[in-house]
Amino acid sequence: MNWIILIIAGLFEVAFASCLGKAKETTGSEMYAWYAGFFVSLTISMLLLVKATQTLPIGTAYAVWTGIGAVGTALMGIFIFKDPVNFWRIFFIFTLIASIIGLKVVSH
């Protein structure tokens, strides 16, 4: 169950990073709404990370959490923010995914 909580926490990390990106693109009340989304997502992500680390090793949980955030944010950048795509970018996204899966496999 805590692996599911950790994955959800990682998805909220993607959400707070994406909210920062959208806030940077907007002004006025829309910008403040994106910042509000950032703070809500950040809070939920951190609370879920704390919950997951009650039973999972902290090093593994943190690495998986940041890995999900990094991969998710990179993919959001590509698909939403039109970041550039090239072979090496995709290659390293896949190595991050492999590392996340590897940590899950070798954790007790």
The chain-wide mean pLDDT, for the chain, equals: 94
Side-chain half-sphere CA neighbours of 63 within 13 A: 16
| For the chain, domain boundaries | 2-106
- pLDDT tens sequence across 74-108: 999 999 889 999 999 999 999 999 998 998 888 76
Residue 38 CA: distances (Å) to CA of 15, 56, 72, 94:
7, 26, 15, 26
- pLDDT tens sequence across 50-69: 999 999 999 999 999 999 99
How many H-runs (helices) and E-runs (strands) does the chain carry? Answer: 4, 0
The whole-model pTM stands at 0.87
